[in-house]
């Protein structure tokens, strides 16, 4: 079946968008069809007769997203005001349809960009039964995770992680001290609508730290206009004896909306594939979010506030310091991290003479502390960040637009503890950019340039752990350095025949060294390494070239991407072969490097019997200029997933079963201080169904209870395996 949508507009200072949603075959109305305007953050559901109306819509170019259960999501670019009727036909849906994507400056349909973008929706997050955002993202080709147990993990995009990956929350950069291996991303998945991954350098749109890619965290949508909703989400985890609980409330009127969500996660120690308990791998998190929005005559204003308090056990130290306690214990009396943050953002959009002006400001305060087993805080660092972004989107004729603007980012790091890893410091960044996009018929062309100037200034901070004159290096000397960088992006896409699109994209990125790479001189407790920085490190730059092809039909899709990512002055950590007080000494070094790889995916969908099967393969090879492998490069892997929708069974509706596997190949090209890793196969399966207002799910990961070591697990060097079998029960209740 196909869906027809009729839309009409009235011409006035504030415009009205209205229409009716019907089935094109039967011409019957489709009530509860969802319509959403991303730029305005306004959505509604069609009425019982299929009709809908958006009052008080500002003039300009807007994107309308239309979806309904059983149909594919459709995207419509509209220019308001418009007095013509527009008819849309929707094809039968897949299980997880793509939604609007965000590429630096605006929301757009997935096919309207030359960047390589992947999404993970809320439904897919629930299906994964994952313990963290990074864990869930590994379902995407080209994405892995660097882990220190189940609770501490960070995403790895095409072999890059930490400060080479920029994370954006509510449209602004989020930083919670990602410079250290054992510092996890630390973002909860509560209140998240979806995650977007842009693979490859995107510095032209996002600035520094985006040379490896970008993760956009998209918060949940407001309630439909003139409605309110509440929900409770509850999950139980068998392996960690864990629990997750959160509550959300949303309310919207014609011109205002508000939402709030609060929740917590609590996990005990995990067990490996032989049911060995990994002592002190426990973790817990407490989170609160709130948002307010208001639509005025020609502007939209949104304020979001989020706070989090998390604890993570230190497994390395616990090997000798933590006493075994009860299996269900949640005590953090042993060595552990304490991480808390609060973030406030304001997103403002103005519509003036066909122009769209965005002005976003925000601030984040992140406190990271460590109790190393002595009962007190030994390390305490406060990272304060503030940023502002302004951009103007101006149409150029009927088929192009010009985007220009600038941003400012400032950050301070302050030590309060007795143990110092990195110095007190100040950094700042200012930029200006321009971006042009042309889209007509079968051609899509886009490109832009950006200039950034960045300051890094460090200050004398106690002794940076230098205890005597036998230290492996002199005390790191405070310095002030300025960095300048020009970056570009250029891409082209051509639709050769119906549903077949070919893309070619080239882009550059840059990143000065982070504070650890530039200025560390001391013991990193979580790694048992004495690390020494490189104050004179040159700016790290890269150039990525990739080509991709995508074919989609109502029953089949296939995509392939091939890339080559060349780095100048790649910063990496290397052992010196010496020791200091029994700890291995490591120096940060630089070299040119090249990262090459591919991502292949294919899938079949049989709408008549509601069956879906997807399979993907990702491969990567990363080398220094001398041919030696770079550290922390994931192994090649194959991921597959089968889904089958079930017929109604009494009170149970929209039931679906899924089963899949992940095969990870041998990694026989370890870096100097790494070890090889054997291949392994993991099996997963699950079922979900709706019963009235209740959504139930049961997901099993590593069902065969495989004992394995992932190459990016920092536990494998201590003979600690990854997690064994994990069964996750989920319950969602809406009222």
What pLDDT was estimated at residue 4? 46
Does residue 214 contact residue 173 with C-beta atoms inside 8 Å?
A: no
Residues in Cβ contact with 188 at an 8 Å cutoff, skipping those fewer than 6 apart? 133, 263, 265, 285, 287, 308
61-70, 197-206, 244-253, 576-585: the lowest-pLDDT one: 61-70
pLDDT for residue 12 = 38
* pLDDT score at 317: 55
> What pLDDT shows up at residue 372?
78
Q: What is the pLDDT of residue 10?
A: 36
| Residue 477 CB neighbour total at 10 angstroms | 9
Region of residue 440 (left: phi > 0; alpha: psi -120 to 50; beta: else): beta
Summarize pLDDT for 451-478 with one digit per residue, the tens.
999 999 999 887 675 555 566 665 578 8
Cα of 377 vs its chain's centroid, Å? 31
Whether the per-residue pLDDT at 525 is higher than 70: the answer is no
- The residues facing 346 across adjacent strands are 303, 361
- Mean pLDDT over 665-670 rounds to 95
Question: Residue 96 pLDDT more than 60?
Answer: no
Which class for 396: exposed (0-12), middle (13-18), buried (19 or more C-beta within 10 A)? exposed
CA distance readout (Å), 379 to 418, 474, 521, 547: 6, 21, 14, 46
Number of neighbouring beta carbons within 10 Å of residue 661: 16
The pLDDT score that the predictor gives to residue 608 is 72
Confidence of residue 385 (pLDDT cuts 50, 70, 90): very high
| pLDDT category of residue 180 using cuts at 50, 70 and 90 | confident
How high is the pLDDT of residue 254?
Answer: 83
> How sure is the predictor about 6, in pLDDT bands with cuts at 50, 70 and 90?
very low
Query: Are the C-beta atoms of 215 and 195 separated by less than 8 Å?
Result: yes
pLDDT for position 451: 97
pLDDT of residue 683: 98
More confident position, 521 or 536: 536
pLDDT tens for residues 102-131?
Answer: 666 567 766 778 888 888 888 888 889 999
Residue 7's pLDDT is what? 42
Joined tokens for residue 478: 């405070």
Summarised one tens digit per residue, pLDDT across range 349-375 is: 998 888 889 999 999 999 999 887 777
Q: What pLDDT sits at residue 403?
A: 93
What is the rounded average pLDDT of the residues 605-617?
A: 86
**Distance (Å, rounded) from C-alpha 602 to C-alpha 617?**
9
Domains of the chain by start residue, with CATH: 3-93 (2.60.40.1120), 125-734 (2.40.170.20)
How large a percentage of the chain has pLDDT more than 70? 90
**Per-residue pLDDT tens digits for 428-454:** 999 999 999 999 988 999 999 999 999
Tell me how far CA of residue 541 lies from CA of 188, 322, 518, 532, 633, in angstroms.
Answer: 31, 43, 16, 22, 19
> Across residues 527-548, what is the average pLDDT?
90
- Asked if pLDDT for residue 94 goes beyond 50, the answer is no
At 690, list the tokens.
């709706």
Q: Is the pLDDT of residue 177 over 90?
A: no
Give 344 or 375, the one with higher predicted confidence.
344
The span from the CA of 409 to the CA of 74, in Å, is 36
Residues above pLDDT 90, as percent of the chain: 57
Q: What is the pLDDT of residue 577?
A: 82
d(CA 37, CA 40): 6
* Mean pLDDT for the stretch of residues 389-395: 93
The pLDDT, as a whole number, for residue 38 is 81
Per-residue pLDDT averaged across 623-647, rounded? 94
Residue 67 φ then ψ, to 5°: -145, 155
Q: Is the pLDDT of residue 32 over 70?
A: yes
**654-658: long-range contacts at Cβ-Cβ below 8 A with a sequence spacing of 24 or more?**
654/69, 654/689, 654/690, 655/687, 655/688, 655/689, 655/690, 656/95, 656/687, 656/688, 656/689, 657/685, 657/686, 657/687, 658/127, 658/685, 658/686, 658/687
Rounded CA gap, 64 and 109, in Å?
Answer: 9
Q: What is the pLDDT of residues 705-726, one digit of tens each?
A: 999 999 999 899 888 999 999 9
Q: Which residue has the higher pLDDT, 399 or 181?
A: 399
pLDDT over 50 at 3, yes or no: no
Is residue 416 within 8 Å of residue 401, measured between CB atoms? no
pLDDT value at residue 470: 62
Answer yes or no: is pLDDT of 18 > 80: no
Looking at residue 24, its pLDDT comes to 63
Q: Which residue has the tokens 């090889």?
A: 676
Place of tokens 């305060």: 365
Give yes or no for a cis peptide into 81 (omega within 30° of 0).
Answer: yes
Helical H runs in 239-387? Answer: 315-321
Nearest to 57 by CA among 78, 73, 74, 76: 78
In which residue are the tokens 């109790």 written? Answer: 371
Mean pLDDT of the residues in the chain: 87
Q: Cβ(76)–Cβ(97) under 8 Å?
A: no
Buried b (16+ CB within 10 A) or exposed e, 163-187: bbbbbbbbbbbbbbbbbbbbbbbbb
Distance CA(578)–CA(555), nearest Å, equals 59
pLDDT (0 to 100) of residue 682: 98
- The whole-number pLDDT of residue 97 equals 56
């Amino acid at each position: 079946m196909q869906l027809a949508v009729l839309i009409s507009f009235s011409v006035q200072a504030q415009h009205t968008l209205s229409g009716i949603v019907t089935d094109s075959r039967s011409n019957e109305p489709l009530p509860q069809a969802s319509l959403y305007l991303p730029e305005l953050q306004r959505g509604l559901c069609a009425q019982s007769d299929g009709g809908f109306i958006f009052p008080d819509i500002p003039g300009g170019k807007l994107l309308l997203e239309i979806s309904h259960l059983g149909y594919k999501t459709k995207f419509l670019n509209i220019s308001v005001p418009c007095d013509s009727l527009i008819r849309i036909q929707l094809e039968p849906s897949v299980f997880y349809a793509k939604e609007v994507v965000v590429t630096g400056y605006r929301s757009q349909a997935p096919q309207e960009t030359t960047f390589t973008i992947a999404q993970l929706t809320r439904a897919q997050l629930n299906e994964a039964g994952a313990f963290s955002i990074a864990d869930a993202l590994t379902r995407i080709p080209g994405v892995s995770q660097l882990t220190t147990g189940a609770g501490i993990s960070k995403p790895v995009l095409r072999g890059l992680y930490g400060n080479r990956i920029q994370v954006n929350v509510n449209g602004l950069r989020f930083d919670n001290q990602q410079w250290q291996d054992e510092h996890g991303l630390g973002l909860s998945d509560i209140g998240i609508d979806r995650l977007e991954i842009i693979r490859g350098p995107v510095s032209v749109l996002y600035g520094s730290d985006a040379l490896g890619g970008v993760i956009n965290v998209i918060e949940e949508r407001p309630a439909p206009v003139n409605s309110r909703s509440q929900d409770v989400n509850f999950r139980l985890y068998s392996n960690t004896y864990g629990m997750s609980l959160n509550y959300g409330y949303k309310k919207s009127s014609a011109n205002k909306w508000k939402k709030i969500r609060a929740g917590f996660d609590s996990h005990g120690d995990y067990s490996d594939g032989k049911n060995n308990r990994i002592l002190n791998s426990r973790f817990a998190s407490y989170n609160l979010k709130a948002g307010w929005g208001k639509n005025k005559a020609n502007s939209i204003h949104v304020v979001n506030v989020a706070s989090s308090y998390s604890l993570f056990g230190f497994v390395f130290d616990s090997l000798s310091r933590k006493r075994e306690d009860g299996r269900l214990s949640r005590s953090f009396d042993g060595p552990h991290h304490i991480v808390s943050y609060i973030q406030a953002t304001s997103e403002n959009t103005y519509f003036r003479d066909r122009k769209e002006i965005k002005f976003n400001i925000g601030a984040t305060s992140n406190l990271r502390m460590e109790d190393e087993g002595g009962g007190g805080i030994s390390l305490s660092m406060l990272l304060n960040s503030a940023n502002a972004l302004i951009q103007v989107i101006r149409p150029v004729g009927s088929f192009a637009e010009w985007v220009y603007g600038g941003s400012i980012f400032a950050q301070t790091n302050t030590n309060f503890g007795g143990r110092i890893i990195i110095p007190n410091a100040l950094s700042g960044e200012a930029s200006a950019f321009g971006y042009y996009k042309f889209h007509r018929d079968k051609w899509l062309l886009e490109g832009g340039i950006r200039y950034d100037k960045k300051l890094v200034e460090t200050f004398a901070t106690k002794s940076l752990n230098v205890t005597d004159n036998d230290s492996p290096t002199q005390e790191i000397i405070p310095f002030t350095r300025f960095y300048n960088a020009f970056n570009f992006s250029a891409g082209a896409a051509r639709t050769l025949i119906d549903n077949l699109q070919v893309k070619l994209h080239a882009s550059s990125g840059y990143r000065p060294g982070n504070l650890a790479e530039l200025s560390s001189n001391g013991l990193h407790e979580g790694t048992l390494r004495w690390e020494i920085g490189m104050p004179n490190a040159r700016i790290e730059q890269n150039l990525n070239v990739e080509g991709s092809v995508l074919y989609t039909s109502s029953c089949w899709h296939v995509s392939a991407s091939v890339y080559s990512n060349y780095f100048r002055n790649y910063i990496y950590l290397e052992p010196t072969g010496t020791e200091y007080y029994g700890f291995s000494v490591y120096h940060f070094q630089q070299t040119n490097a090249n990262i090459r790889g591919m991502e292949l995916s294919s899938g079949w969908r049989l709408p008549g019997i509601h069956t879906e099967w997807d399979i993907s393969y990702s491969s990567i090879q990363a080398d220094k200029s001398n041919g030696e492998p770079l550290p922390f490069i994931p192994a090649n892997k194959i991921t597959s997933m089968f889904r089958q929708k079930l017929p109604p069974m009494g009170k149970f509706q929209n039931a679906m079963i899924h089963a899949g596997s992940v095969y990870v190949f041998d990694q026989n090209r370890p870096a100097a201080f790494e070890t090889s890793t054997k291949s392994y196969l993991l099996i997963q399966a699950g079922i979900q169904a709706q019963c009235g207002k209740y959504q139930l799910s049961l997901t099993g990961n590593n069902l065969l209870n495989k004992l394995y070591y992932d190459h990016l697990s920092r536990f494998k060097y201590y003979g600690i395996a990854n997690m064994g079998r994990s069964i996750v029960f989920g319950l969602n209740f809406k009222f």
